[in-house]
Amino acid sequence: MAFSWQSTKIVQLLVLLSIFINSANANFNNDVDITFGDGRAKILNNGELLTLTLDHSSGSGFQTKNQYLFGKIDMQLKLVAGNSAGTVTAYYLSSTGPTWDEIDFEFLGNLSGDPYTLHTNVFSQGKGGREQQFHLWFDPTADFHTYSILWNPQRIIFSVDGTPIREFKNAESVGVAFPKNQPMKMYSSLWDAEDWATRGGLIKTDWSQAPFSASYRNFNANACIVSSSGASSCSSNSANSSNDSWLNEALDATSEEKMRWVQKNYMVYNYCTDSKRFPQGYPPECAIN
């Protein structure tokens, strides 16, 4: 008797918990607009799943309705499986205008069995050229994995399944602009970049494999939302609770160590060590990152 009462309680608790978890994650129907692809982007399962496809005529994409000025953005992605050479799945934050800011994750496809390249970049006031690239320690096409951008006034941290892979620190002290004034939306797209994506464009897209498809779920934006009038949700009382967490978050010693491990074993390109590209010396932020 006591046992069954307890299990009923446990079931009730689990149901409550799952409602809580669901409400914590966004719903694609409410949170994003499909921007292109003429039916190639689809929102499924009552907003829980989004799929993008690419064929020879077009790719597809979406963007958030909200714009953010600082936040912690998480998305689970399952990338194009099989021969994905030539395809690029982009997932990034960007503002608009000629001096835009941008924080990029781009997944460059590859031949079956060859590793995807995760390309990252940071633009501030229209200037990018800060590429770091990684291979992954798992097959990103076999299952969903979480890719996160933490963006606060002090730093940008790129993470994969909670493991930081790159930190871009605010380097205003050495004269490098930092994205901190222009609200950004989250964008994602699946498109063809056979000219450069795979082994520098050597391997082209195999269109006999089309349509290519990537899937998204569990988008979560713990972020300061900026309204069209320019007001931030973080200047109001409701955001105080987030102040002590991501808005001031930094890497602790354990996370630093994990990031070093990834960079040592999986980084395949770092602009800050590309001496051919920067014969006159590396960009100033390289000294502090």
Residues with a catalytic annotation lie at 102, 106
Cβ neighbours of residue 175 under 8 Å, at least 6 residues apart? 284
Rounded to the nearest whole angstrom, what is the least distance from the CB of residue 267 to ligand NAG in the complex?
A: 11
Rounded to the nearest whole angstrom, what is the least distance from the CB of residue 89 to ligand NAG in the complex?
A: 12
Q: To which residue do tokens 């633009």 refer?
A: 123
Rounded to the nearest whole angstrom, what is the least distance from the CB of residue 115 to ligand NAG in the complex?
A: 5
Rounded to the nearest whole angstrom, what is the least distance from the CB of residue 7 to ligand NAG in the complex?
A: 38
DSSP per position, the chain: -HHHHHHHHHHHHHHHHHHHHHHHS--HHHHEEEEESTTSEEEEGGGTEEEEEE-SS--EEEEESSEEEEEEEEEEEEPPPS--TTEEEEEEEE--STT--EEEEEEE--STTSPPEEEEEEEBTTB----EEE--SS-TTTS-EEEEEEE-SSEEEEEETTEEEEEEE--GGGT---S-SS-BEEEEEEEE-TTTTTGGGTSPP-GGGPSEEEEEEEEEEEEEEE-TTS-BGGGSGGGHHHHTTGGG----HHHHHHHHHHHHHHEEEEGGG-TTT-TT---GGGGT-
Spatial separation of the C-alpha atoms in residues 36 and 63, rounded to whole Å: 10
Spatial separation of the C-alpha atoms in residues 260 and 265, rounded to whole Å: 8
Residues of this chain that bind ligand NAG (CB under 6 A): 108, 110, 114-115, 117, 197-199, 237, 240, 243, 247, 268
CB of 110 or CB of 188, closer to ligand NAG: 110
DSSP-based three-state secondary structure for 137: coil
Rounded to the nearest whole angstrom, what is the least distance from the CB of residue 39 to ligand NAG in the complex?
A: 28
Rounded to the nearest whole angstrom, what is the least distance from the CB of residue 110 to ligand NAG in the complex?
A: 4
